[in-house]
């Protein structure tokens, strides 16, 4: 390898390929300093860099084939010889439970970005049948929370060692880019019917 070819903004490129870059990350300043160059680099392989300065994060986005216009597809074919590009940015589908909590958090963000685990459990329980096995239900809820932590929809701010339900989370603003608030009623009704909640 010829290290002389190393780009000065390589750390930001690598950070973006790994996931969301926040203002608190070391790569953020590099990303902002070389933003035009970084965007041009990714555009050359069919990927967009979404920088949300007002919310303090950036991430990569790759359009689905059905989001491309006829002209877009013609350019891709002309430039590469391929009808479409393989996906580099994977879209992991959310489970029904993850989608429900994501929408509830997206709705909550309109009022407040802070929420406790107790409040999350209270919000979720509304959409489930009465469950005598509370321990199992809470374990299921805990798994959903862990998944949203993993995809950066929420961040744990303070863990309460005495009362786990008082653990505090911050709802990350990237959820506004990823979750369509207009679908909240549709998903709620779907979940209510699925669980036969009266």
Does residue 46 fall inside a structural domain?
yes
CATH number of the domain enclosing 136: 1.10.10.2260
Considering the domain architecture, whether residues 28 and 114 belong to the same structural domain is answered as no
Rounded to two decimals, the pTM is 0.79
10: domain range?
3-80
**Distance (Å) of CA 174 to CA 60, 62, 154, 177:** 12, 16, 9, 5
Contacts of 116 (CB under 8 A, 6+ apart): 165, 166, 167, 168, 169
Q: How many domains does the chain have?
A: 2
Handedness of CA 128, 129, 130, 131 (dihedral sign): negative
List of the chain residues with pLDDT < 70: 131-132, 195-198
**Distance (Å) of CA 147 to CA 53, 143, 170:** 26, 6, 15
- Model pLDDT, residue 127: 84
Considering the domain architecture, whether residues 125 and 70 belong to the same structural domain is answered as no
Does residue 85 fall inside a structural domain?
no
Percentage helix, strand, coil for the chain under 3-state DSSP, each rounded to 5: 50, 10, 35
Considering the domain architecture, whether residues 183 and 100 belong to the same structural domain is answered as yes
What is the rounded CA–CA span in Å between residue 137 and residue 125? 9
Please tell me whether residue 69 adopts helix, strand or coil conformation: coil
- Model pLDDT, residue 90: 76
- Model pLDDT, residue 157: 94
- Model pLDDT, residue 189: 79
Question: What does the buried/exposed string (b/e) look like for 80-108 if buried means 16 or more CB atoms within 10 Å of the residue's CB?
Answer: eeeeebeeeeeeeebeebbbbbbbbbbeb
What is the rounded CA–CA span in Å between residue 194 and residue 129? 10
- Model pLDDT, residue 131: 67
- Model pLDDT, residue 197: 46
Task: Write the pLDDT tens digit of every residue in 17-42.
Answer: 999 999 999 999 999 999 999 999 99
């Amino acid at each position: 390898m010829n290290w002389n070819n190393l780009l000065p903004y390589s750390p930001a490129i690598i950070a973006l390929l790994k996931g969301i870059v926040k203002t608190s990350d070391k790569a953020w300043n590099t990303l902002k300093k070389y933003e035009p160059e970084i965007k041009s680099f990714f555009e050359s392989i069919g990927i967009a860099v979404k920088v949300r300065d007002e919310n303090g994060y950036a991430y990569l986005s790759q359009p689905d084939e059905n989001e491309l216009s006829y002209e877009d597809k013609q350019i891709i074919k002309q430039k590469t010889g391929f009808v479409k590009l393989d996906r580099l940015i994977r879209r992991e589908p959310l489970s029904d439970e993850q989608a429900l909590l994501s929408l509830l958090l997206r709705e909550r963000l309109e009022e407040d970005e802070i929420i406790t685990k107790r409040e999350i459990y209270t919000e979720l329980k509304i959409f489930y049948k009465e469950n005598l096995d509370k321990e199992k239900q809470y374990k299921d809820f805990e798994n959903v929370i862990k998944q949203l932590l993993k995809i950066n929809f929420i961040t744990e701010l303070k863990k309460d060692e005495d009362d786990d339900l008082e653990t505090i989370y911050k709802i990350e603003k990237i959820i506004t880019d990823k979750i369509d608030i207009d679908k909240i009623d549709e998903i709620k009704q779907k979940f209510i019917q699925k669980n036969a909640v009266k």
